Structure 1
C-alpha cells in the first residue's frame, strides 16, 4: 500500500513537471521552470511579448535574441508552447530559397 502511494505521488510530480507553459501567458517564474530558460532569457521573452503575443514559434524565434530553431526545439520538448502549439522544425523544402524567375529574353541584334 505504501509503495502504491509513493508511486502515485512520484507520477503526480512527474506529470506536473511536464505540464506545458504557454509563452504568451507565463510569468517570469513560470518561464524559468523550463530547462534552459534563466533570468536573462525570460526577461528577453517578456520584453518581446510587450510588443504583442507571439503568433507562432517562427515569430518567437524572429523576435527573441537567443532563441533559434535548436533552442526552440529544446524548450518545446521541455514543455514550452506558443499558444497550444509545440515546436516543429521547418522542413527542408521550406528552407530552400524560391527558384528565381527566368530573365526576359534579349532581342536579337539586327543584321
Structure 2
C-alpha cells in the first residue's frame, strides 16, 4: 500500500512539473533535463552561462549559450521561462532643500 501511494505521489509530482515552465535562472541540471530538447550537455551549458553572465533576461538569451539556435529556442519557448529577475536597486538623488 505504501509503495502504491508513493508511486501515485511521484506520478503526480512529475505531471505537475511537466505543466510548469522551468525557470532558466533557478533550475538545477536535473530540472533543466526534464525539458524535452535539453539533455545533460545543454543543461550544463545553461548553468555555466548563468554563472558566468548572471540571470537570463529573456528566453532569447539562450542564443548566447553553446548548443542553442533559433529553432531550438523557439521549440523551448513554451517550456522554459526566466521568472522574475531581481529589480535594480533604487537610487536616491539629493533634493534641494528650501531654507
TM-score (norm 2): 0.62
Structure 1 unmatched ranges of 5 or more: 1-9, 85-111
1:4-50: CA deviation from partner (whole Å, max 9, x where unpaired): xxxxxx99864542211110010000000000100000000000000
26 and 43 in structure 1: CA distance in 2 versus 1, 3 angstrom threshold: same
Structure 2 unmatched ranges of 5 or more: 1-10, 85-99
Specify the alignment match of 2:55 in structure 1: 53
Cα RMSD, aligned residues only: 2.1
TM-score (norm 1): 0.56
12 and 30 in structure 1: CA distance in 2 versus 1, 3 angstrom threshold: closer
Q: Following superposition, which runs of at least 4 residues in structure 1 exceed 2 angstroms of deviation? A: 10-16, 57-60
